Structure 1
Amino acid sequence: MTVPQTHPALDDIRARIDAAARIAHRKAADVTLIAISKTHAAEAITPLIAAGQRVFGENRVQEAAAKWPALREATPDLKLHLVGQLQSNKAEEAVSLFDAIHALDRISLADALARAMDKVGRRIPCFIQVNIGAEEQKGGVAIAELGALLAHARQLDLPLAGLMCVPPADIEAAPFFALLAKLADDHGLTGTPEGGLSMGMSGDFETAIQLGASHIRVGSALFGARG
């Protein structure tokens, strides 16, 4: 058995996840750390793999397709999540390449993903991205339209993993995380396989964990500045 190598940044994040989970009377094992490797070359990713990290996130289909097949051939148990916006015409490629999608935000994309999953013969979990701060420049379904999108996704038998959000920058994230958790409650997702909460990044993941995050998306705290 290969002994995992040490990685100071990863060790620090793991310790902080554990501390935040204990404060919330949760288990650290119930929080999935997604290492956001977008814009970083394979040479920056392999030390994290060697240290035992297995879940990674990319925001562009084309970039992921260029660097991940070789990494996954070397380490077959890696999981890859799409955390960026997805164009409908890239749905089939995304379904073939990724193990989860965090950016389902419109009915047309739900339709494209359903067609792609049927064609590829592979069903992968999808988080519905909510535009939690009602920001025009950001993706995500409007809060008022969340119920309709959920209903449509279920009608298509899409495998739903929960809700995802990116709070507005430079203001306290906690109210937005709490709102996402409330939306999950309001729509009957909490405590079900559809009840995950993808929220929290390098600057606020501890707050997200304390407010119920099941998946946190950490990039700069692991990799440093973007490449």
Structure 2
Amino acid sequence: MSLSEITARIHKAEELAGRTVGETQLIAVSKRQPDARVAEVLEAGHRVFGENQVQEAAGKWPGFKEQFGDVAVHLLGPLQTNKARQAIGLFDVIHSLDRPKLANTVARLAQETGGCPDLFIQVNTGEEPQKAGVLLDDVDRFVTECRDMDLPIVGLMCIPPIEEEPSLHFALLAKLAARNGLSGLSMGMSGDFERAVALGATHVRVGSAIFGERPTQT
């Protein structure tokens, strides 16, 4: 599916939901995609991308930014505290702030460096033990703690359980965000982004629907 087709589907979902057409930001998830495919999307004019790993992004995006100019790169995957300094310098937005230790590290580094990417708090809406994210009962407290550290929290992010209806999780995330006065909602991927847009997503994360399936790692 082409980038233009994805964009058209997002705009249609916005229109059906009574939202302003064009207000949902499409993050093209380029993790583990060949450079040639990423370059094609850049050449088509898209400028917002998502990566899951600091190391992969560090090897890919400085060169692309030099070649294509102003590109925003979002970290979508888990962030280890020992990679936080590199991440702060590399990413424009981090979607996976998920624990007090990481928040403290990011706050300290932001003070040291004088800057910090916008931050989404990842919420484990399905309370899955194998998945990262703040548990539901801890969301309000964690948002308050992050604000007390002057961290630039702009919204919440979730990845619904694969076997459950994602709309239930999108609606829950929207309720949690509204309760905490947060406008950003990072939710929805290739298979469910239209449902996410209908429930207020401000950022959707679409990879395979844009780039095709990722090459098998050997």
If the length of structure 1 is used for normalisation, what is the TM-score? 0.92
Percent identity between matched residues is 51
CA distance in structure 2 between the partners assigned to 1:27 and 1:224 by the alignment? 28
- How far apart in 1 are the matches of 2:109 and 2:76? 18
- Describe how 1:38-77 pairs up with structure 2 within 5 A: 38-77=31-70
Structure 2 residue 142 is the aligned partner of structure 1 residue 149: yes
2:113 is the alignment partner of 1:125: no
User: What are structure 1's unaligned runs of at least 5 residues?
Assistant: 1-7, 190-194
Structure 1 residue 215: deviation in Å? 0.2
Q: Secondary structure at the match of 1:28?
A: coil
Look up the match of 1:169.
Answer: 162
Aligned to 1:24: 17
C-alpha deviation, 1:118, in angstroms:
2.0
Q: Which residue does the alignment assign to 2:184?
A: 196
**For each residue in 1:153-204, what CA deviation from the matched residue of structure 2 results, as whole angstroms up to 9, or x when unmatched?**
1011000110000000032111110000111122232xxxxx1000000000
What is the distance in 2 between the residues matched to 1:30 and 1:140? 26
Alignment match, 1:5: none
Paired residue for 2:28, among 23, 32, 35?
Answer: 35
Moved over 4 A (4+): none
Match of 1:223 among 198, 211, 214: 211
Tell me, in whole angstroms, the C-alpha distance in 1 between the residues paired with 2:129 and 2:91. Answer: 27
Farther-moved stretch of structure 1 (208-217 vs 40-49): 40-49
Amino acid at match of 1:215: H
Residues 83-162 of structure 1: matches in 2 within 5 Å?
Answer: 83-162=76-155
- Work out the CA distance in 1 between the residues paired with 2:113 and 2:54: 16
Contact 1:92 1:120 in 2 (8 A): no
Secondary structure of 1:57's match?
Answer: strand
Structure 1 residue 147: deviation in Å?
1.3
Q: Give, in whole Å, the separation in 2 of the partners of 1:122 and 1:38.
A: 25
- In the other structure, the counterpart of 1:209 is 197
- Root-mean-square deviation (CA, aligned residues, Å) is 1.0
Instruction: Determine helix, strand or coil for the equivalent of 1:80.
Output: strand
Offset, 1:223: 0.8
Query: 2:192 is matched by which residue type in structure 1?
Result: D
Aligned positions, number: 215
In 2, Cα distance between the equivalents of 1:15 and 1:29? 10
> What residue ranges of structure 2 are gaps of 5+ in the alignment?
none
